[in-house]
Structure 1
Amino acid sequence: MTSQHSSSGSVRTALVVEDERTINDALAQRLVAEGFRVVQAYDGPAAVELAAVKRPDVVLLDVMLPGFDGLEVCRRIQADRPVPVLMLTARDDEADVLVGLGVGADDYLTKPFSMREVVARVAALLRRVDRAAALAEERPGSITVGGLSIDPGTRRTTVAGEPVHLTPTEFDLLLCLAREAGQVLTRDRLLREVWDWGDAWGSASAARTVDSHVKALRSKVGAARIRTVHGVGYALEAIAG
């Protein structure tokens, strides 16, 4: 488990958004036990308001909510400020997952889920946030692969000179592939290096997480840039334009 304190030393805040109170309370209790400060919302409008006021470090967000749904909540939260979002969904349909990733979610879990897995996913998200902050301070040089340019320090990406908006997870995935452009990286390696998951997550759902994010990333940087090696993983290729 990563430390539940920010770089400034303050306790991290988790926003739990779930209209089923028993699930909401169970999530909140477990996160409190893990050292988080927790705020709770039970509908879309309240979630957006709390996110603006409490400035959470991570958001656990159910898709189906009263008022407006979790996708709209995620869209509005991310428009205000970038924050890692773990979507909780009752459906594992790829189209639904891709929509969630498209509006700024970093990861997703399908119900029913174990509290252990929730905690592990949240911890991994926050470790990645810490790692990205440390990398930004180092101000490393940009990486260019074909017409694709990636600046790890500013976390900006351009394709043929045009800016491309990527979610934090999409950026980390692209950066991982770009650092070894042309080389095939296995799903297990991507899970370790991008999602910071250990061997315990080598499951079908974990593989789908990688595949879903790759599909979302392809829609933004161009499908031909990311080559699939079936049964193995993915490689970033240098192409013109």
Structure 2
Amino acid sequence: MRYHIGVVEDDSNIQNIVSAYLKKEGFYVTVLGSAEAAWKVWETNPPDMWILDIMLPGMDGYEFCRKIRNESEVPIVIISAKDEEIDKILGLELGGDDYLTKPFSPRELVARVKRLFKRINQSPVAEEVTQEKIKVDDLLIYKNDRRIFWDNREQEVTTKEFDMLLIFAENVNRAFSREELLVKVWGDDYFGSDRAVDDLVKRIRKKFATLPLETVWGYGYRLRNEEAH
């Protein structure tokens, strides 16, 4: 499979360098100079990953990232001249999967792109796999197919929403700290704020309103199930 990467950057030099390095590694690349142009591509020929500058003319990278996250969990690598911690945190909490500060090494960018694709495409071997089902109250998870049913209706969830729900369902009544959930869902190389965990929990609660996903104050979260021992 040849992956399609959208590069949203208004600096022509960076466009050319990033595009050249990605193409050399076999990726199909679409280069765009604005978020508005990128959104049109998203609607017609959506990439498998975005490399996104923050400081763009018109719609900025933060707003574009937010719009994409409302529709998809497609990986987003943010690149920016800003090096303040708050900018990194904001970019990641809006849904970015990684963050690079300009100037950056094109080789490092390629390495991070490859690592992200490897992480999101790890899947169980399809041959002769016994379908594993996990049920907690009205929540039913088909682990191998990565499908979730709520009150007998299938629900659309993002990759991170699925991963977090699976962690809780496999460990009912166990409290997880925010730091644990960051590592398990985002990976041990994530360096953003644990507020990303709170944001993801809010999204899950909105979709599964009566799911007993409890806050453990000052610590983290747990999925309560009185029937489990």
> For this structure pair, what is the TM-score category when the shorter chain's length is used for normalisation?
0.5 to 0.7
Structure 1 match to 2:170: 179
Q: SS of the residue aligned with 1:66?
A: coil
TM-score (norm 1): 0.64
Question: Considering only CA atoms, is the larger Rg found in Structure 1 or Structure 2?
Answer: 2
The alpha-carbon distance between structure 1 residues 52 and 220, as it changes in their structure 2 partners (threshold 3 A), is closer
Figure out how many residues of one structure are paired with residues of the other and give that number: 213
CA contact (8 A) 1:170 1:213 kept: no
1:126 paired residue number = 117
RMSD value, Cα: 4.1
| Structure 1: stretches of 5+ with no match in the other structure | 1-5
What's the counterpart of residue 59 of structure 1? Answer: 50
* C-alpha separation in 2, matches of 1:148 and 1:37: 39
Alignment of 1:88-167 (within 5 A): 88-89=79-80, 90=82, 92-93=85-86, 96-97=90-91, 100-101=94-95, 105=96, 107-112=97-102, 113-131=104-122, 140-145=131-136, 148-152=139-143, 153-156=145-148, 158=150, 166-167=157-158
Shift of residue 161 of structure 1? 7.8
Q: Following TM superposition, by how much is the alpha carbon of 1:40 offset from its aligned partner in structure 2, in angstroms?
A: 0.5
1:218 aligned residue (201, 221, 224): 201
Q: Deviations over 1:187-238 (max 9, x none)?
A: 58964x64566xxx3xxxx2426x24312212123595365886xxx66332
User: Structure 1 residues 187, 154: CA separation in 2 closer, same or farther (over 3 Å shift)?
Assistant: same
1:68 is matched with: 59
Query: Aligned residues: percent identity?
Result: 28
TM-score (norm 2): 0.67
Q: Structure 2: which 5+ residue stretches go unaligned?
A: 206-211
Look up the SS of the partner of 2:192 in the other structure: helix
Q: 1:208 to 1:52 in 2, by over 3 A?
A: same
Counterpart mapping for 1:222-237 below 5 A? 222=205, 225=214, 227=216, 236-237=222-223
Greater helix fraction, Structure 1 or Structure 2:
1
